Structure formats: C-alpha cells, structure tokens
A = this chain, B = another copy of it.
Amino acid sequence: MNPNLDVVIRTVDLSVSANVYEFYESLQQYQIETWINNAGIGSFASVGEQNLKRMESMLHLHIEALTVLSTLYVRDYANVEGSQIINISSGGGYQIVGNAVTYCATKFYVSAFSEGLAQELKDKGAVMRVKVLAPASTETEFIKRALDLEEFHYKGVVPKYHTAKEMDGFMLELYDSEKVVGIVNEKTYDFELRDPIYPYASRTRS
C-alpha cells in the first residue's frame, strides 16, 4: 500500500437511482483521473425462475448506474488529459450462458455501451479513453453472494479461475494499454488486450 495515498471510502447502494446522482455530485471536490464502474451482482437462475426484485436491482446497478455515471464523467472529463473510464463487463458480455441469461444480457449492454463510447469519443477527437474489462471466473465474494451461501471456496470446486490479485494485474495492464478491451480467453484463461470486438459504424449528425 502506498503510504502517500489518501483513500476515501464511500458506501452507496447504486441500485437506487437517486443515490447515483447524489454520489456523483458528492465527488465534485475531487479531480478524478480514472472512473471505474466495478459494482455488480450475480444472479443465477433460469429466466422463468429468477427473483424479479433481485433482477431489477441488477438492471439498475449494471446498466442504469453505469450509464448515468459514465455520462456524467464524460461531460466533466472528456477533454481532460489522462482521463479514463474502465467498465467491468464479463466473459458473459460476449457469450450468453444458460441459467445466467439476464446477467449476461446486462453484460452485453456494458460491453456494447463501453466499446461504443470508446469509439464515439475517438471519432470526436476527445482525449478520454474508455475501456472494458471482461473477466471470467475470479475468486471474489461474487458466487457466495449470488447464491446466498454462508461461505464458498473456489479451490477444488471451480475448475478454472483467477485470483483477485491476478485480476488486479490484468486491470493495470488494460489501464496502461491503448487497447479498448481486456478479456480473459474462456478456453486458455489467458488475459488478452484487444481492439473493440463488436461491429461499430460511425455516424455524424449534420
């Protein structure tokens, strides 16, 4: 830990729309170099069996909060040298997985929104960079919370996964890179830095 860092922690439920605006407003005093939308929740059930309340919280958090915060940050920092947005998607933002269809659809949104925003800003000659990180299984509290378990251990249960520390390293590689997408290859579990994956068409309004 760098002793010169002044770490400020705020606890906010970003699945509640009003909190999202309030949270962004409350940061006006800071100069923010990098904005990372990392908050997410898992939801593993078939569409018919999914808990609707949990599903709606997931939509608000993964989609609405991420879009509002990205938009506000772009408004304030699009032309500030060195500014970046890194949005956390998932391998599920590029491949749909059964019994996690709604979760994956939210991550398709995150991938398309982030890749699109990255390219839209480049089209405009803005200096801000936008990137998207797509992890596969990573050893965090994600599964424990998604399945409401007392505890959950990855070792010996999840066939392949990265540790949170490994994922931190991948995030830094993406941060330092000129590429837009940092994605874990589902087969090899290697981390790959890539150009945008989804097709994009520029359009300038007259």
A-to-B contact residues, CB < 8 Å: 17, 44, 46-48, 50, 52, 55-56, 59, 63-64, 67-68, 70-71, 74-75, 78, 94-102, 104-106, 108-113, 115-117, 119-120, 123-124, 198-205
Give 10 A-B pairs besides A96-B200, A98-B203 with Cβ atoms closer than 8 angstroms: A46-B120, A48-B78, A95-B199, A96-B198, A98-B123, A98-B201, A101-B113, A108-B108, A108-B112, A109-B109
Q: Does A105 contact B116, Cβ atoms closer than 8 Å?
A: yes
Q: Does B95 contact A203, Cβ atoms closer than 8 Å?
A: no
Q: List, in ascending order, chain B residues with CB within 8 A of A116's CB.
A: 47, 96-98, 101, 104-105
Minimum CB distance partner of A49 in chain B: B75
Number of copies: 2
Closest 8 CB pairs of A and B: A101-B116, A105-B113, A108-B112, A96-B116, A48-B74, A95-B199, A105-B112, A109-B109
Q: List, in ascending order, chain B residues with CB within 8 A of A201's CB.
A: 95-98
9 A-B interface contacts by CB (under 8 A): A47-B70, A47-B117, A48-B71, A50-B71, A56-B68, A97-B200, A98-B116, A98-B120, A105-B110
Q: List, in ascending order, chain B residues with CB within 8 A of A101's CB.
A: 112-113, 116-117, 120
Nearest Cβ in chain B — how far from A14, in angstroms? 14
Q: Does B59 contact A94, Cβ atoms closer than 8 Å?
A: no
Given contacts A104-B116, A116-B105, contact A71 B98 (CB under 8 A): no
A55, A71, A112, A204 — most chain B CB neighbours (10 Å):
A112
Kindly state the separation between the CA atoms of A75 and B120 in the bound complex, as whole angstroms: 40
Q: Does A47 contact B68, Cβ atoms closer than 8 Å?
A: no
Given contacts A48-B78, A71-B47, contact A63 B112 (CB under 8 A): no
Kindly state the separation between the CA atoms of A72 and B56 in the bound complex, as whole angstroms: 13
Q: Does A104 contact B99, Cβ atoms closer than 8 Å?
A: no
